[in-house]
Amino acid sequence: MAGLINNLLILSLVFQNNCLGFRSPLSVFKRYKDATRSLSSECLGSDRPVISLGLSDFALDIRMPGVTPKQSDTYLCMSVSLPVDDEAYVVDFKPHASMDTVHHMLLFGCNEPSSTENYWDCDEGTCKDKSNILYAWARNAPPTRLPKGVGFRVGGETGGKFFVLQVHYGDISAFRDKHKDCSGVTLHLTHQKQPLIAGMYLMMSVSTVIPPGEKVVDADIACHYKRFPMHLFAYRVHTHRLGKVVSGYRVRNGQWTLIGRQSPQLPQAFYPVEHPVDVSYDDILAARCVFSGEGRTTETHIGGTANDEMCNFYIMYYMEAKHAVSYMTCTQNANPEMFRNIPQEANIPIPVKPDMLKMTHGHHEETKDTDKKSSLQLSKGEEEEILDQDFHIEEAVEWPGLDLNLGQVSGLALDHENNLVVFHRGDHVWDENSFDSKFVYQQRGLGPIEQNTIFVLNPSTAKLLHSTGKSLFYLPHGLSIDKNGNYWLTDVALHQVFKLGADSKEPLLTLGVALQPGSDKNHFCQPTDVAVDPITGSVYVSDGYCNSRIIQFSPNGLYIMQWGEETSLGRARPGQFNIPHSLALIPDFSQLCVADRENGRIQCFRLGTGEFVKEIKHKSFGRELFAVSYAPGGLLFAVNGMPYPGEAEPVQGFVMNFSTGEIIDTFIPLRKSFEMPHDVVASEDKTVFVGDVHARTVWKFASTEKLETVVEARLKNNPEPTDPLKKQEKQHLVRQASTGVSFVLITTLLIIPVVVLLAILVFIRWRKTTVYGADGEHKLDSNSSRVLGRLRGKGGGGLNLGNFFASHKGYSRKGFDRLSTEGSDQEKDEDDGTDSEEEYSAPPPPPAPSSS
């Protein structure tokens, strides 16, 4: 028996030592944190370069250590070692720089930086060994996110052990105040193995000369590709001030396929390759930069200063891991004759707005050599796509708007002060008794709504700032606000559209005939929404539940044109509607997008002509798409309807890339569930409000942008974190608690046999004491006595695993301390919140499309 107990005890101690070998994710950074660099106090986060983002992910902050360049065109470098020894993958980049101070930044990966100093002049070089460009930034470019499953491989046996940041300070007039610069980039890394490895292919001209006054100068680059297939997913162009357009192509069997084309005077981001392009063995990669020497009095050469030029075309690609090559370059023109056949688009400059050009070059960067005549107007149809960012929104749970005393919420808008304007129905309800078969309102005897139907709310606190709209409406529906702050509203009972001043009690303009449905130029039939062109003042009305058209009016209400027709049998064609329910005007691209509700899609048309541009439709929309809204910067927001019985698509919100139509994110409430989300509106900062006609409430959702929020909030010395950060920290604590639970559970299961044996021994001891008297106690095996003594602890008051394990050298109590009541409650709260969501429940099948 004693031998068995000893063996079990040894096994338990071995298990204990093995468990202690499992380190906290943060422990892998301990040696790195102990040697953190001492930087300027002006650099936020310089003392916290490594941030844990969970069990397998972390962020690495790479910043200039508070530098002040002494002369223009200074290139400064600094290095940061990878804080882990094993292989990791870079999956995200977030720049921290402004064109006011930085011309461009490059991030290299290598094994041996050129210097061990805090920072150094890049004339000394970047790396002593081979270096790979991982990232490039210039001209206020946005963050870059790699596709799912793709990452730059670093560390391990084949990846680089150091990152080297190179920052080019062009004009240093911004440093007259002697401030210290902390520009840099934050990397999001993961230990999760990525099946596809990213790389960079740089095409660069090294010998181009631009003669002074020359109107058009081409710089051509071309190389034969001699490796395993690669798949191109993003591109970036780079020149200095003389560049007009840069284009890149794959040439296969004489056919030119566009990779990407962009003006280098726009933000120099990595833009997505619009159509997938693969490159195979013996294909040709070709690029052309178009320059103009007008305004220059001397020749301009390729070089590193702001008054020199560059012609660079960067391509981000991915390859299968077993064939991956991380970096390739092309600096020659292998076949000059082939450029006679380059597509004509490569020779056409892309126009840029004057204000964009000014922002691009910076107010302090204008010199006597600057081409002052290069400012051109941006064509309305010019669309720009930014590589998908890590964008995510969640409910702002502290928003008190759920407690407002509202009627059925039908419309939302934001005024010029970013206040939320709510259009609701007070004590009136749209139900099956509201209209007859000819769409004539049947409850006129109730009179107009006696409550104020328009609420203006503080977007942060939901405090009521102003209210109006009493005794004007019968069944409110759509709401929008024009550039002058006027409200445009629709009433489906009155079959009218109203223009109302923010402070006026009487309409400034009324369209349609009260209580008379119709389909001619002077009548509407349950009009749903309004959009007003901020440039022309044209008014667009979606009409509606019983018409299938979009009508355009002049600013003073004169009929101009209309388009649209009822949906035919089979698949709905472009320009056909089945309840055009919501409008979103896209001024950046001169388009009007329509939530074609019962067709479950979004249709977009040219302003002024009604020409169909595109359809956005996803299976996850389900059968109904209720509302759509656009936020400057290229994001489209939408909400769908409840699923029909037997259908799986839940009611939820969607975030989409406007240019591609791709769904970037979906969102649902955390506190309650959507019942019938009826309208959605988004602000420039990507705050989103959703009005629910059945729940009679307004939800608020805020952007978290996970990496940015975690890193920015933690790097700043701010004791009051933002809501999204609180949630992330809460989730991290839950993960920690889960880890503790797993540890204790396994330990307990292995200890149970020991406890059972001890109980048997105690029973035998009691029996012997009963039979033999007190002297029987000494007949227990001495080894067993020692074991029992250790398990009892000093107090001898029973089994104390904490003290038992803590008695071993090197053991930390943290594994036990972390399993607190607070941690358990947090995990339970998370589960309870999830279980309480009922948005998947389906209503009974309606006999006809639901009203409201």
For the annotated catalytic residues, the residue numbers are: 103-104, 166, 168, 238, 240, 310
**Tokens 């919140």 sit at which residue?**
833
Integer Cα distance of 533 and 552 in angstroms? 10
The sign of the torsion formed by the CA atoms of 792, 796, 799, 801 equals negative
Report the Cα 809 to chain-centroid distance in Å.
46
- 105 CB contacts (<8 Å, ≥6 apart)? 95, 97, 135, 136, 137, 138, 165, 166, 167, 168, 183, 184, 185
CA distance to 80, 505, 618, 637, 654, per residue, from 663 (Å): 36, 41, 9, 10, 7
Length reported for the chain: 852
The DSSP annotation for 548-617 comes to -EEEEE-TTS-EEEEE-EEPPSSSPPTTEES-EEEEEEETTTTEEEEEEGGGTEEEEEETTT--EEEEE-
DSSP conformation class of 526: S
Per the CB < 8 A criterion, the answer to whether 549 and 580 are in contact is: yes
Name the helix (H) or strand (E) containing 20.
helix 2-20
Q: Are 476 and 410 in contact (CB under 8 A)?
A: yes
Residue-wise burial string across 574-601, b where 16 or more C-beta atoms lie within 10 A, e elsewhere: ebbbbbbbbbbbbebbbbbbbbbbbbbb
Q: Which amino acid, residue 814?
A: K
Residue 788 parent element (H or E) = helix 782-792
Helix axes 723-772, 782-792, angle to 10 degrees: 140
Strand ranges for 82-216 from DSSP E: 88-96, 104-110, 120-121, 132-138, 144-145, 150-154, 162-169, 184-190, 196-204, 209-210
Give the DSSP H/E element, type plus range, for residue 520.
Answer: none
